[in-house]
Each structure stands twice: as C-alpha cells, then as structure tokens.
Amino acid sequence: MLADGFLLARLPATLWYLIMSLGGFVQKLLGLLAAVALAQSAAAAESLSFDGDALRMSDAAPVVLTPARLRQPQSQAPASVTVIDRELIEASGAREIYQLMQLVPGMAALKVDGNIPTVSYHGTQARDVRRMLVMIDGRSQYKPGLARVLWNDLPIEIEDIERIEVTRGPASAAYGANAFQGVINIITRHPDDVVGTTLAARQGNNGVRDWRVTTAAHGDGKSVRLTVAEKSDDGYDGTYYDDDPLVMRDVAMRDAKRIKNINLRSAFDLGSDDTLEFLAGGSESGLQRLTEDSDFYEVLEVYDAPDEHAEQAFAQMIWNHRFSAKHELKVQAYAQYNSNNLAFGGCAKLPGGAADSTGAVLFSKEMRDLYEANGRDINATIAQLGSSPEIGARFGALVGATSEPLCADFDLRLQEERYDLEIQDTIYIDEYARLVVGGNLRHDRGYSKTYTNGVVENVSQRLFGNLELHLADPLYLNLGGYWERDERNGRYFSPRTSLIYEFMPSNSLRLVASDSIRSMDLYEDAADVHLYPTRVNEPYASDPVGLLGQDRVEFFIVQTSHGELTPERIRSREIGYFGRYRSVEWDIRVYDEELRDLVSGSLSPFNFDPENDGEVDINGREVQLSWRVSARHLLRATGAHRHTDANNKPELRLASRNSASLLWRWDINDNWMFSTSRYLGSDYNKLRYERTDGQITWKARLSDSEVMIGALVQHDLTNNEVVFEENVYRDDTRYWLSAAVTF
C-alpha cells in the first residue's frame, strides 16, 4: 500500500530541481499537480501498481523504448518522441533514410552540401552538423574523429528498418554527451519478421539506379537476415552561376554518388532466459565533389577533380539474460571502423593568376614564415606577397630555376575506430518504481596525416541511470542522469527531470528540465593540420631544399588546436501534451533552449576557428498529429514554429522559422496503395523549401511469390536552390519506378 509518507518523502527532493528551473508559471502548475496527487493518494493507494508484469502498459498509447531506456507507453515517456513505423516508411516513399526525418517536427533534413545529407534538429549549423546522436540497433553512428553522422554511409537499407524513434530534445541523461539535441534510434527488422528472398530494383531520372537483395533463413531457435544493396544518383544535376570573379561562368555540378552496403542480423535462443544476437556489415561510397567549392580552389588549377571515397565496417554482439519477470540484464559490445579519403590533383597558382612556377612559393619556407609572422591569418599573408623581400627573393629563384608549375596529388584521409562495451541492468523494484542502470567503456582512435598528423586516442568511462516512480495515480516522475569521464574532456554529468501527469488514460501533461553537453571530438581537441602533397612533379620532388627552402614539399598553411576547448552546453525546459482519443493521436511540445559555449566557426584545414564563443537561444512549439480516419486511411501532419537568436551567422543558416509536413496514405484495397505528402520549410538561409510527393504501389501474390510494382514522383514547388546557391536540380520533377519479387 502506498502511504502518504512515501509521497512526502519523495516529492520535495525530486521536484525541487524542476520547480526552480521552469519559471513562475510552471511552479504554480507543478504545485497544483503535487497537491492533486497528495489529495488523491489515500483513495488511490490500493490500486497503484505497474500491473502484475510490472509494465503497466496502456492499451492505447504506443510503447517506446528510447527516451529512458525503459519500455513505456508514450504517454508516460519523459520526452517528446516521434515514432516512424513500417506503415509510415512505406507511405513516405523515401528512397534514403535521411528523408524520413522530414516527418519529424522541427527537423531539417536536406542535402545541403551537394550529395551529403544534413539532418539537424532545430537547424543549428548547416554543414558541420555535430549535435545529435544517431543509433542503429544501439550502436552509435556518431563519428569520434570529425564529429558528424555520415548519412550516406549508414550500413542499412531503408527496407530493413522496422521503426525509428526520435527523442526530440536533449537526451544526454540517457545516452551521453553527444545526444546533445536529441536521439534518432533506428531499429532494424528482426530476422524472424523477414521471410524468403527479395529481389528489388529502382530506376528513374536524375540518374537513380538502385538494386537490393534480402534473404532470411530460420531454424530451431535461430534465424538470420542478410541484405546486399547498391544505390546511385546524379545529385543536384543542374548548373548555377558562380559569382566569384575568377570564374564568371555557369558551373556544372559534380555531386553524383554511388553507395554499396551489406547488413547481417542473426538471432539465437540460448534457452528460456537467454538470447544472443550477432550483427555485422559495412558500406562503401563514392562521391563526386564540386571543384569550385574546394578549399583549394583559388590556389590550385585542378586537373583531377575531387572525389571522396569512404569505407565503413562493424561487428556487434548483444546478449540478453532474463533473471525473472522483473529483472533483465543486457550486455552489448561492438567495434566499428571508418575511412574517408578526399582525393584530387592540381598545379599551384597564386590567387588570381595562372599555374606557373611562381605558384610554388605557396609550398616554400618563406611563405610559411610569413604566415606565422601574421598570426596564421591567411588573408593578411596573401596581401603581403608583393611586399615581402623574402618572398620576392624566392620568386626570383623559382623563375630562374624552372618554368614548370608545381603539380601534385592531394589525399585528405581520415581513419576512425571505435570499440564499445556496455552493460545495462533493468530492475522493477516494486509496483511503484522501476530502475535502469548501467556502465559503458569506450576507446576511440583516429589517424590522419592531414588532420591530426598521426594517431590520436581517447578512452572514456560512463555510468548512467533512470528511475521511474509512480508517485500517485496519475503522477509519474522520471529522474535520469549520465556521468562521463574521458581523457580529453574531463568529467561531467547530464541530468534530466520529468514530471508526467496522466490525467486520463493515454493523455498526459509533461514537464521536462534537462541539461546536456557535447564533448569535443578528436579533431577539435587535437588538430595538427599539415597538407603534404604526393606524386610531386620534377624538379620539385628531387630538390625541395634548393627550390622551396625546406626538406619536403608542404603547403604553407598549418593549423593546431590549442586544446583548451570546453564541451558545448544546452539547457532545455519543456512543457508537452501527449494525447490519444480513439483514432486520433497528438503530441505538442513547447520549449525554451539555451545553447552556450558553441564551436560555431569553420573547422576546415584552410579555415580552422575552434573557439567556444557561439551562443544560440531557441524557443518555439511543435505539434505532430496522426489520425486513423478508417482502416484504410491514415493522415499524419507535423508543424513547427520557432524563434532563433544567435551571435553568428553559421548557426542561423538552417534555422527555419516555420516547417511542416503532411502525409496521407490510402490502402485502396488489399493490392493497391496510394500516398501523397507535402513538405515545407521557410527561411533556410533566407530561402523557401517546398515539395510534394505522390506514390502508387501494387502488390499481389503470384503462385508462391509476392510481386510489388510502384511509382513515385517528387515535385519542387519553388524555383529556389536548396539552402546554398549550388544546390540546383536540372528538373523540378524527379521520378522513379520500383519493382520487387519475394519468393
């Protein structure tokens, strides 16, 4: 029996942090909720429990796993959550995983940097997106070397995804430092849910050429699913006018891509209380890059246009042991490897000039000395080229020695490795409390001659926990925290407090206060940039001392990190309302976020500005609505409106003031499905983005096989480039046809 003393002992300490941080209005609301809970406690005490299996799942609200690492009805989750299930994935017609994020309110999901997708919650940054955690089956996709998520290289096909849970808002209290603004948790299809072998192909305009083979096998207590696939397209295949005075011409895009991946998931029942899973896979991608967008554009006459090649591989094991109906242990270990190489070739030239022997001065000792004397200010260094006597003497030596320009290849390579071990223990303490606790040990390693001048490593340890208390019918309290220590960022703790008032079944008010951090990656903390060309032509290769004044050919620009960056911080306060009534479900989020100590400057080898001087304030509201009109009709809508204030421009380019999506799925009969959707974003770098899609598919059984044929059309409703001027499609309409057979 839950006595009043139990409530009085728990409420003051646990609510204090939330009350003090949410402001006067929320203080009054919390006080009212606490008073109601106390008044009801005596009458409700006899019935307070999580039910016999300690889960107390609502029959109506969908169950989510991500926000607190606990199975919870969405009405009792300590955060705003967007769930994208198989039905929505199919209805969206999305070809790439990042496109599904357009169904999430407040999320920007666009190809901003040519053929490289950007996914950003609340739109901070545009190209260097490094403030959100993405997981696949519990395995982090956040890269340790250059903090980012490579959406092109996720080693999974969209058809192998069972569901995606997006925690909207800081989630470091559950997943650590880099769940700074949220978590995207991708859950793949279990081998038991896949039958037979599927052969699929897709072809359309804009160079779309895809194929996929998926097969599954099942035995006594074991099953396996394997997918092998390839996709390619031409990216933004239009032309844009480059207003650089050195170009003065229309520029054709170079952003085609080809991606291959393989993914295996196997499951084994080791007994009534133990399961073991083994997952493995990898990807390989080739991306064209635009020459005119290169950092080297003004100082190289490019003869080999830049191409980026990436490889990724992983292996993962998950063991689950069930001690009892109220106690479960999970042990997970994985290793993953990533290699990226941007390769190009060119001949040195002075800014505004042509490639000749004078351009070789950019690789000379005198140029390096001038650069250092100007405090590593590139513009000031270039401006003094004509007035420096040392540079003038080197010009004369070069012109007198050879008429050949210095030509070479460049390979900007980075290799990243991660080894991760995590233990998680879930305990149902009694009918009023559930607890998940765990620990994590991680080793990150990066290697690059270009970015870090060798090997850089980081070892980190983590402890985490989340306590769910059923204080009184209908009041729930979630307390979460994540303690971390690593060799480069020190120690820090991320807390979250959530109070949920479920005033009627599957309808709840949610108050959340959370603080999160983003730790510095290996590059930000230990950058040591050196640009060493390869395959240097003669006479420079054999006589660098005589021609360049140094014993090896090296570009004059170097960059180093001062190693004093502190983690980025976010303080978030949220009021939410989740509701479900019959066939209608909604979630409303009103929030205020303060982001401090941001590293907002560019981190490219040419322009390296890692300082904790960025500040962003964001407040707004988001809504998502699903309506099951009938058994064959589904409507889903999202909308977001926000105000963003920042002290620098890069943090505002993707901060759309208004965004929305609308999707309708109609299962015409058992064979035919039609869907249509519309996506809107305003003020993406002061540009408007609007697109509508239409899709129709036909499925039928033929003999022992199932056949699917589909067609999809995407049409841009504005004549704007996407965020940046180079992102232009040749045609406003893109389409493709799909076919698959399963036998």
Instruction: Convert the pLDDT of each residue in 192-238 to its tens digit.
Output: 999 999 999 999 999 999 999 999 999 999 999 999 999 999 998 87
Is 386 a residue whose pLDDT tops 60? Answer: yes
Is the pLDDT at 351 greater than 50? The verdict is: yes
Q: What is the pLDDT of residue 1?
A: 35
Q: Which residues pair with 163 in a beta bridge?
A: 85, 187
Confidence grade of residue 241 (pLDDT, cut at 50, 70, 90): low
In the chain, % helix, strand, coil (3-state, to 5) comes to: 15, 55, 30
Q: Is the peptide bond before 67 cis (omega within 30 degrees of 0)?
A: no
Distance CA 243, CA 232 (A): 30
Q: How high is the pLDDT of residue 719? A: 82
**Residue 188: partners with Cβ closer than 8 Å, 6 or more residues away:** 136, 137, 156, 160, 161, 162, 263, 265
Asked if 721 and 695 touch (Cβ cutoff 8 Å), the reply is no
Q: For the chain, give the percent of residues with pLDDT over 90.
A: 75
C-alpha 693/C-alpha 691 separation (Å) is 7
Confidence of residue 631 (pLDDT cuts 50, 70, 90): very high
| Averaged pLDDT, 622-642 | 97
In order of 299, 358, 422, 553, the CA distances from 399 in angstroms are 18, 7, 62, 18
Terminal Cα-to-Cα distance of the chain (whole angstroms):
56
CA–CA separation, 215 and 195 (whole Å): 7
Distances (CA, A) of 295 to 365, 380, 547, 658: 21, 17, 25, 33
From 295, 258, 275, 264, select the one nearest 221 (Cα to Cα).
275
Spatial separation of the C-alpha atoms in residues 308 and 412, rounded to whole Å: 9
H or E stretch at 19: helix 4-22
Domain boundaries, the chain: 135-349+409-520+566-604+630-742
Distance, in Å, from the CA atom of 65 to the CA atom of 500, rounded to the nearest integer, reads 17
Nearest to 186 by CA among 140, 135, 152: 135
Band of residue 40 on the pLDDT scale cut at 50, 70, 90: very low
Question: May I ask the CATH architecture of the domain 135-349+409-520+566-604+630-742?
Answer: Beta Barrel (2.40)
Quote the CA–CA distance of 282 and 310 in Å, as a whole number: 11
């002290």: which residue's tokens?
A: 647
Span 307-340, pLDDT tens digits? 999 999 999 999 999 999 999 999 999 999 999 9
pLDDT score for 29: 36
Say if residues 345 and 409 touch (Cβ distance below 8 Å). Answer: yes
The continuous run of DSSP H or E covering 313 comes out as strand 300-324
Per-residue pLDDT at 53 exceeds 90:
no
Q: How far is it, in rounded angstroms, from Cα 698 to Cα 739?
A: 10
Residue-wise burial string across 339-367, b where 16 or more C-beta atoms lie within 10 A, e elsewhere: bbbbbbbbbbbbeeeebbbbbbbbbbbbb
Mean pLDDT of the chain: 89
Q: 3-state DSSP call for residue 205?
A: coil
